[in-house]
Amino acid sequence: MSIAENIARVRQQIDRAARRVTRNPDQITLMAVTKTVPPERIREAYAAGIRWFGENRVPEFAAKVDAIDRSDARWHMIGHLQSNKARRAVDLFDAVDSVDSLPLARKLNLRAAERQKKMPVLIEINIAQEASKSGLGPDSSAFEDLLTAAPELASLDFQGLMTVPPYSENPENSRPYFRKMHELFDAIRHRRLASVAMNVLSMGMSHDFEVALEEGATLVRLGTAIFGERPPVRSNR
Ligand SMILES: *Cc1c(COP(=O)(O)O)cnc(C)c1O
């Protein structure tokens, strides 16, 4: 299957999943995740209409960014970001969807201010509180502290939440986590916190995005379903 065919297929799947729960498919964002994907295949996805892209690692994106025509595409950092790469991330990316600590948020804010940029961000939640994953615990004081500090972080634009639930072959196993994320998202929105908007709920990957959409995701992040299987990873950083 070509990349264009894969994209057409996932758009149909998104459409059907949205309609099952009477949501408007036009309000759902499809992000293509391009880790390990070379620029020529990224260009194919762009030609097939993709405008939202996600990358996991700053050095990998830095190495291929010059071969990519940015034009009207949006590039989001979606992997764990070390504070010492905050400046590079602010320079390279249009948004950081994986803000997982207040110190990182402060660093990004400082670097964005230096560049006179307002950086859109999502807060990453470790919804199952897995030791192996980054992200803030949904009930943690660190999460609360970050929400409270948002008004001081004037160069960041807090737009919502992101999560990666525990992997399971069966996408139904992700459903309780997606549901919990949606509840958290709604609860925070209802608090109407200063400088914290809750418009984006980024959850769902190739194997479980239909369930994520049924449970309220506004943005799904698809790699394998668009570009095919990735080579095995050597390291997760
Ligand atoms: C790799 C990755 C994805 C996409 O994963 P697929 O299973 O290939 O769709 C989505 N989100 C994050 C944070 C990722 O690291």
Instruction: Give me the residue label for tokens 């999502």.
Output: 122
Residue 237 lies in a domain: no
Q: What is the pTM of this model?
A: 0.97
User: Residue length, the chain?
Assistant: 237
- Say what the pLDDT of residue 235 is: 54
155 lines ligand 1 (CB under 6 A): no
Percentage of residues of the chain with pLDDT beyond 70: 98
User: 222 CA to middle of ligand 1, Å?
Assistant: 6
122 lines ligand 1 (CB under 6 A): no
Percentage of residues of the chain with pLDDT beyond 90: 95
First to last CA, the chain: 30
The overall average pLDDT reported for the chain is 96
> Checking phi first, is residue 49 left (phi over 0); if not, alpha (psi -120 to 50) or beta?
left
- Give the domain extent around 183: 3-227
What is the domain count for the chain? 1
Q: Evaluate if residue 237 carries a pLDDT over 50.
A: no
Using one digit for the tens of pLDDT, what is the confidence trace for 157-215?
A: 999 999 999 999 999 999 999 999 999 999 999 999 999 999 999 999 999 999 999 99
Residue 160 lies in a domain: yes
User: 221 CA to middle of ligand 1, Å?
Assistant: 6
Burial 193-232 (b: 16+ CB within 10 A, else e): eeebebebbbbbbbbbbbbbbbbbbbbbbbbebbbeeeee
The rounded distance, in Å, linking the Cα atoms of 103 and 108 is 9
Q: Residue 25: which CATH number?
A: 3.20.20.10
78 lines ligand 1 (CB under 6 A): yes
Closest ligand 1 atom number to CA of residue 164: 13
- Say what the pLDDT of residue 234 is: 63
